[in-house]
Structure 1
Amino acid sequence: MSKYLIKLGQNSKKAHKIIDTKIKNNVLKSFVKLIFKNKNKILLENLKDIRYAKKKGLKKNLVNRLELNNEKLNSIIEAIKTVIKLKDPVNYELSKWTRPNGLKIKKVSIPIGVIGVIYESRPNVTADVSTLCFKSGNCVILRGGSEAYFTNKILANYFRTCLTKHKIDKNFVQFIEKKDRKLVDFMLSKMSQYIDVVIPRGGKNLVKKVQELSNVAVIGHLEGICHTYIDKDANLSMAKKIVKNAKMRNTSICGATETLLIHKNKLKNINEILEDLTKSGCKIYGDKTIKKNFSGKTLIANNKTWSTEHLSSKISVKVVQNILEAIGHINKYGTMHTDAIITNNNRTAKYFIKSVNSSIAIQNTSTQFADGGEFGFGGEVGISTNKLPPRGPVGLNQLVSYKYEIYGSGQIRK
């Protein structure tokens, strides 16, 4: 087991080199063609994974994450095409200046090196991550969940085929084919010599394990307890539309709103706001004020509720006295992921956006826009709630580091 992973690490170190932008884009164009040409083969491999997942007894929402169809494959293709169009983030001059002694200093972007990505369920991650890491000049070692094994494998192999075609070491992208779970432990604790950054994409248990065991830097988030706050100056029609989308469009993603905060002045509209959700099949966990004023069925909320990432058709609802209470609640119970305010008062919105600790703060739109693709990044390798950068969706431009280049003409330090 250890020999297998160390070999992968050695392969990555050996493969890593600076690649011309045109060649990078040609590899990605070949990848697009190969996916398009082999859609049926990919879907057949995906069907194997779906059968395995159902046999294993995976929850319906996890099976949905896993399932590919023609539309999803087209989305993968479009995401790759977007990355092709994006500017190469490597060897970009971030800033430059000249010192009084004549030294010329440049701050220039460079690849991170080797990135290890551990993920569950979604096979599109294989294509997204391979594409983003390669375009940003990074080698990647992929460890997908066993439930998506066949789909992940075929997509990774197609990328490697494209690398070989363009005379690039295919080990720029490697997929861990062994399913032993102990491999993850070894990868996190014994591979710091080979892996520069680890990115986990999956449930709370996976991310927690990675954060606890990893000997290298981790980019990611533990939970996505996202909030939407309906301010006293919110447009009711807009609020209803946004809240429904933020909660119900896709309940299983980390950008789904889990807690709804409502200003006391909007209590008179509580039935309109919450009935829209309950008609969509959403369970309401409300505080005492909600329980008293909402005509529909309400389960009582408590401190545990405010700290819960439901990832299903459930929402926690609380009435707040003012914006200060809303911000206080978010900063206490939130996970610095994505939090939104609905208001027509731009001054209030600005105060909210500046005051919440979130990596993504939003006015008058859905928290479900917390996504690299929606940001125009051509996809993401994950979302980071770390205080240190990168924060928010980690796309192409976040997968680089930098170095200082200094050019002298014989100066010596006094």
Structure 2
Amino acid sequence: MTVTDLCRGAAAAARQLRLTPTEVKDRVLEQFAAAIDGQRERLKAANALDVEAAREAGTSDTLIDRLTLTDKRISGMAGAIRTIVGLPDPVGAVTGGRTRPNGLLIEQVREPLGVVAVVYEARPNVTADVAALCLKSGNAAVLRGSSIARHSNAAIAAVIGRVLADQDEVPAEAVQLIADTSHDSVLELLHARDFVDLVVPRGGPGLINLVRDNAKVPTVIDGDGNCHTYVDASADPAMATSIVVNAKTSRPSVCNAMETLLVHRDLAETWLPGALDELSALGVEIRGDERTRQAWPKAVEALDADWSTEYLDLILAVRVVDGLDQALDHIDRYGTGNADGIVAGDIAVARRFARSVDSGSVFVNTSTRYSDGGEFGYGVEIGVSTQKLHARGPMGLESLTCVKNVVWGEGQVRVL
């Protein structure tokens, strides 16, 4: 089947899914989770083929980390699906309403988008996450993974496909995997405007630019994560160290990891050297501006490109700034609108930072690593939107719906 054929089938399934009761969707999702738990050896065997091929191809450790399925991560996939089961169904929820002077009752009601397609790289867990989020929100899912995770994605999709084939309440075409991992398959998907309602690309700059330049269907960009943490002069030193170490080192390969540390000048000689010592001991390479290198001479000189780089590795750019205004200017220039944070004891400074930073998620006295649909209580996320229409930040169930107006009358007709 061509990509267009798969999208056509998904569109037909979406028309049925929009009317599927919550209890039916939840029952099928429970079966998804049980099947993933029960087929973990099959999933690990398929994933081992991808990991071995990636190592032989010289793939970076960062990408291999994203690719690898462990028992813990498989349990996490199943657990995330069960979390979604426990979340409220957004479909049919009335978000607002009013009665007009002429007696008309106007309600804003959530409904599914229709067909949601996700193009993603490396992470095979996205296959299960997107399938579950789309089903719960009444959407059909079209999945196009990358060649590096071909066997893993196919195995997960096959497990889900078997569940759908063995029941008759949800159409089997509700979850579709595009096996073709060529450039042309993405282009065909991006042109399927008669059948696809939203495309979410999750990957590097090459994929994002391909989507931006060629999409004829609506898109939400899951963009870069050049995340910043600003440590203000009013910060608690121990708290600041704990937060920046976590933000950089807990999992450097993900988009919510801190890539740039901005430090108030009053802390350059007191707090910064100790914090950088701790980061360095954990394997972090420090690339600093002149004032950072004066305070901590072991730092490598930061080039201009370092301020705009998403390292996804144990590398950190560090700049000493004169205060909040300079930190905000830096983030405004180099940030990607994903996640940025501040450590500050001065509540006025923290509030100004939170209102001024143009990011989908802002973190006050906590780590940017919390920028995640699961941590936000969404179960999982379909992506992290770095744009403002129609969704922003981690995208959960509500982001896969739109609001329509339902007008209730008693025979009123418009005269003018």
TM-score bracket, shorter-length normalisation: over 0.9
Q: Deviations over 1:94-130 (max 9, x none)?
A: 1111100011111000000001110011110000010
**Superposed, which structure 2 residues align to 1:249-398 within 5 Å?**
249-268=250-269, 269-295=271-297, 297-398=298-399
In structure 2, how many angstroms separate the alpha carbons of the residues matched to 1:388 and 1:9? 23
- CA deviation profile, 1:21-64 (whole Å, cap 9, x unmatched): 00000001111111111111111111111122222221121111
Please list, as runs of the form range in 1=range in 2, the aligned pairs for 1:10-409 lying within 5 A after superposition. Answer: 10-16=8-14, 17=16, 18-167=19-168, 168-188=170-190, 190-268=191-269, 269-295=271-297, 297-409=298-410
Q: Percent identity?
A: 37
Q: Distance in 1 between matches of 2:222 and 2:69?
A: 25
1:9 pairs, out of 3, 7, 10, with 7
Whether the 8 Å CA contact 1:23–1:166 is kept in 2: the answer is: no
| 8 A Cα contact 2:118 2:142, kept in partner | yes
The answer to which of 308-317 and 202-211 deviates more is: 202-211
Which residue identity lines up with residue 12 of structure 1 in the other structure? A
* Partner SS, residue 268 of structure 2: helix
Deviation, 1:397, is: 1.6
3-state DSSP class of the match of 1:361?
Answer: strand
Query: How many residues are paired up?
Result: 410
Q: Which amino acid aligns with 1:284?
A: I
TM-score by length of structure 2 reads 0.96
Q: Which amino acid aligns with 1:183?
A: S
**Unaligned 5+ residue runs, structure 1?**
none
| Contact 2:202 2:223 (8 Å CA) reproduced | no
1:218 alignment partner, SS class: coil
Between the aligned partners of 1:382 and 1:53, the Cα distance in structure 2 is 24
Question: In 1, are the aligned partners of 2:106 and 2:406 still within 8 Å (CA)?
Answer: yes
Partners of 1:386 and 1:298 in 2: how far apart?
34
**Deviation by residue 1:356-403 (Cα, 9 ceiling, x = unmatched):** 101101101111111101111111111001122310001112110111
Structure 2: tracts of 5 or more residues without a match:
none
* Superposed displacement of residue 74, structure 1: 0.8
Query: Are the equivalent residues in 2 in contact too, given 1:129–1:381 (CA < 8 A)?
Result: yes
Contact kept, 8 Å, 1:208 with 1:222, in 2: the verdict is: no
Are 2:116 and 2:197, in contact at CA under 8 Å, matched by a contact in 1?
A: yes
Q: Is the 8 A contact 2:381 2:396 kept in 1?
A: yes
Instruction: Read off the aligned partner of 2:371 and give its amino acid letter.
Output: A
Tell me how far 1:221 sits from its aligned partner.
Answer: 3.2
Q: Could you say what secondary structure the match of 1:11 adopts?
A: helix
Q: Secondary structure at the match of 2:182?
A: coil
Contact 1:192-1:215 within 8 A present in 2 as well: yes
Structure 2 Cα separation of the partners of residues 58 and 108 of structure 1: 46
- Structure 2 counterpart SS, 1:193: coil
Q: CA deviation at 1:141?
A: 0.7
* AA partner of residue 276 (structure 1): E
Counterpart-to-counterpart distance in 1, 2:4 and 2:398: 29
What secondary structure does 1:217 align onto?
Answer: coil
Contact 1:285–1:300 (CA under 8 A) maintained in structure 2: yes
CA displacement, residues 176-233 of structure 1 (integer Å, 9 cap, x when unaligned): 1123321112211x21111111001112221221122111121123311110000001
Give CA-to-partner distance per residue, 1:233-267, whole Å, 9 cap, x none: 10111111110110111111111111100001111
Q: TM-score, normalization: structure 1?
A: 0.97
- How far 1:302 sits from its partner (Å)? 3.2
Is the contact made by 1:285 and 1:317 (CA closer than 8 Å) also made in structure 2?
A: yes
Between the aligned partners of 2:31 and 2:229, the Cα distance in structure 1 is 42
Contact 2:251 2:257 in 1 (8 A): yes
Taking the aligned partners of 1:178 and 1:272, their CA distance within structure 2 comes to 51
Secondary structure (helix, strand or coil) at the match of 2:390 reads coil
CA-based RMSD of the aligned residues comes to: 1.2
Q: Which letter maps to 1:51?
A: E
Contact 1:278 1:284 in 2 (8 A): yes
Q: Is the 8 A contact 1:48 1:150 kept in 2?
A: yes
Instruction: Note if contact 1:220-1:384 (Cα within 8 Å) is conserved in structure 2.
Output: yes
Contact 2:145 2:181 in 1 (8 A): no
- Quote the offset at 1:164 in angstroms: 2.7
Q: Does structure 2 retain, via aligned residues, the 8 Å contact 1:226–1:255?
A: yes
* Cα separation, 2, equivalents of 1:310 and 1:212: 25
1:125 is paired with a residue of what secondary structure? helix
